[in-house]
Structure 1
Amino acid sequence: MIQGYFVPMTAFAAGAPCWADVMLPDLEAGKRFYGELFGWTFSAGSAEHGGYTQAYRDGRAAAGLMPKPDGRLPTAWTIYFATPDAARTSAKILEAGGRIVSEAVPVGDLGTMLVATDPTGAVFSVWQAGTHPGFEVTGEPGAYVRTGLSTRDPQGADAFYGAVFGFESVADSPASDERFRPWRLAGQKEEIGGRALMGDRVPAEMPPHFTVCFLVAAMDDAVRTATRLGGRVTAEPITTPGGPFAVLTDNQGAAFGVLSPK
């Protein structure tokens, strides 16, 4: 585990990032890409759930892959936040100025999910666990480690996610400044992610968005592997308090973050 980042839990606290999945045009190509990059193995796709496939790191659930049912949908990673009551969270999202994209619906006995956006349009999902609690492995190479929101309204983001999930903006963190603030859950010391200001260099057409980040053993190796497999570097590695961080794009256009230990 990387100190100061996501702590794996068997029962996720309300508001904690608990799952991530990616929607892809070509599921098999995605399995080849992420299988080699992160060392994942995969379940057989579930016909009941549109071919949804679970990825495993050393036999533990690490993420999900799903074939796009509609070509108009984005090729993108999605972060899920835990809730004990999806309907109540839906009401909070609306009260705080967000929008519900897909109402809360049961996914068999696995749980209940909804898809929403914050007031500026950043998409996220909410998960009320049933038999599927979420991540079984985090904070290890090949597994989820944190998420970050890129936004043009950082104060608005703090207010929205604070009202909906109880996120606290960590102004006293060594990593914090006006452009970036880590987030933690109320009453907890560990950071669960953060938000960053989208500066003038970011194209105006780029919408606010969450970046799902995975831990890798070595940044150089991850970049070489991703590019060899047809991916590309979207944001070159930079130094962060947690270690080198970069944004990559897979061979189908889905962007994600990678972080390597200091």
Structure 2
Amino acid sequence: MAAFTEGTPCWADVLLPDLEAGKRFYGELFGWTFGDGGGEKYGNYTHAFSDGRRVAGLAPKRDGRMPTAWGVHFATPDAVALTTRIKDAGGRMVTDPVRIGDAGTMALAVDPGGAVFGLWEAGERSGFEKQNEPGSFCWTEVYTREKDAVDAFYESIFGFQVRDLDDPTIDFRVWSPAGTRPGDDTAIGGRSVITDAFPAEMPGHFLVYFAVEDCDETAAVATHLGGRVTEPPFDTPYGRIALIADNQGAVFAVLAEPKAA
């Protein structure tokens, strides 16, 4: 697979207390299959596959203080240089760049609003082998209480081209990669705002979306598997969406695109 443009989401993974329970949940929900755990050297990190193509990672939590959560990683050709830009722009590093065998180099950063995100400098592995199809990643957005600082941060470190949705009911900024014209056809993610409608204790965070054929059916299956629907299916101009917490509490979204006329 060709390398991902810098600032493009290229991988998503989830930290779970019980790896085997997570494999059962996502295996039945999305039809994923799983590779071996990579052994103790790599913390039993497990790759998920859809139609034989890599779509996500599952990792057992090594520390109970770590969140049970989905995270997103952004592509970069130079993780060290990007780390410098992150610090200069007001972010900080959780994990400085570290080589993961021949696969590539990863790092974890925190934006000025407290949202954690990953960096990935490709080696033998670029990232997603399948996306924007049912059973795979299709979108991400950061939720923040520090709108101005976070907007300036991502536009500085990645050079995002941006546009704000023309909708008085939602404060949402759409991101397109540097060098592109901002629009739906180039959008790769965005920024939303944590309003009073959210719990007061909710921190800044990224929400990861997976494409599905039928949003309502997926939500029903997730409930049957021990998950919880935190936002029932609703319609948007971009498709039907639901928010789901898996059987261990990690939250993600599913999106069924509108059917072609």
Query: Is the counterpart of residue 133 in structure 1 residue 129 in structure 2?
Result: no
Query: Where does residue 142 of structure 1 map in the other structure?
Result: 135
Letter in 1 for 2:135: G
Q: Which consecutive residues of structure 2, in runs of 5 or more, have no partner in the other structure?
A: none
Q: 1:69 aligns with which of 59, 62, 65?
A: 62
Q: 1:117 is matched with which residue: 107, 110, 116?
A: 110
Aligned pairs (5 A) from 1:95-106: 95-106=88-99
Q: 1:177 to 1:183 in 2, by over 3 A?
A: farther
User: 2:8, 2:119 → 1: CA distance?
Assistant: 10
Q: Match of 1:39, as an amino acid?
A: G
Residue 187 of structure 1, CA deviation: 2.3
State the distance in 1 between where 2:189 and 2:168 align.
12
Shift of 1:167: 1.6
Task: After TM superposition, give the deviation of residue 154 of structure 1 in Å.
Answer: 2.2
* Structure 1 position 206, deviation (Å): 0.5
Matches within 5 A, 1:7-46: 10-46=2-38
Aligned partner of 2:242 in structure 1 is 246
- Indicate how the Cα distance of structure 1 residues 138 and 174 shifts in structure 2: closer, same or farther if over 3 A, else same: farther
Give the root-mean-square deviation of aligned CA atoms: 1.4
Given the alignment of the two structures, is residue 162 of structure 1 paired with residue 181 of structure 2, yes or no? Answer: no
Give TM-score, length-normalised by structure 1. Answer: 0.93
Task: Give 3-state SS (helix, strand or coil) of 1:79's partner.
Answer: strand
Matched-pair contact (CA < 8 Å) for 2:19–2:60: yes
List alignment gaps of at least 5 residues for structure 1: 1-8
Which AA in structure 2 matches 1:28? E
Contact 1:23 1:68 in 2 (8 A): yes
Count of residue pairs the alignment pairs up: 253
Letter in 2 for 1:55: A
The offset of 1:237, in angstroms, is 2.3
How far did 1:158 drift? Answer: 1.5
Residue in structure 1 matching 2:195, options 188, 193, 199: 199
- Residue 6 of structure 1 corresponds to none
Quote how far apart the aligned CAs of 1:261 are. 1.2
Aligned position for 1:5 = none
SS of the residue 2:109 aligns to: strand
Rate the CA distance shift 1:63–1:248 in 2: closer, same or farther, 3 A: same
Q: Secondary structure at the match of 2:62?
A: coil
Asked whether the 8 Å contact 1:10–1:136 carries over to 2, the reply is no
CA deviation profile, 1:105-154 (whole Å, cap 9, x unmatched): 10111111110100111000000011111000000000000001111122
CA contact (8 A) 2:216 2:233 kept: no
User: Contact 1:175/1:181 (CA < 8 Å) preserved in 2?
Assistant: no
Closer, same or farther: CA 176–95 of 1 in aligned 2, 3 Å: farther
The answer on whether the counterparts of 1:158 and 1:169 sit within 8 Å (CA) in structure 2 is no
Task: Answer yes or no: is 1:85 the counterpart of 2:85.
Answer: no
Structure 1 counterpart of 2:257, one-letter code:
P
Partners of 2:161 and 2:142 lie apart in 1 by 14
What is the distance in 2 between the residues matched to 1:166 and 1:79? 18
Check whether the contact 1:16–1:185 (CA below 8 A) recurs between aligned residues: yes
In structure 2, the residue matched to 1:257 is 253
- Partner Cα separation in structure 2 for residue 187 and residue 98 of structure 1: 23
Per-residue CA shift, 1:73-108, capped at 9, x if unaligned? 111111000000001010011001001011111011
Rounded Cα–Cα distance in structure 2 between residues aligned with 1:87 and 1:238: 41
1:176–1:100 distance in 2 versus 1, CA, 3 Å: farther
2:212 alignment counterpart? 216
Aligned AA (1:160): F
Q: Which has the higher contact order (CA 8 A, sep 6+)?
A: 1
Contact 2:76–2:82, Cα closer than 8 Å, also in 1: yes
- For the 8 Å contact 2:112–2:146, the answer to whether it is kept is no
Distance 1:76 1:111 in 2: 22
Distance 1:181 1:83, change over 3 A: same
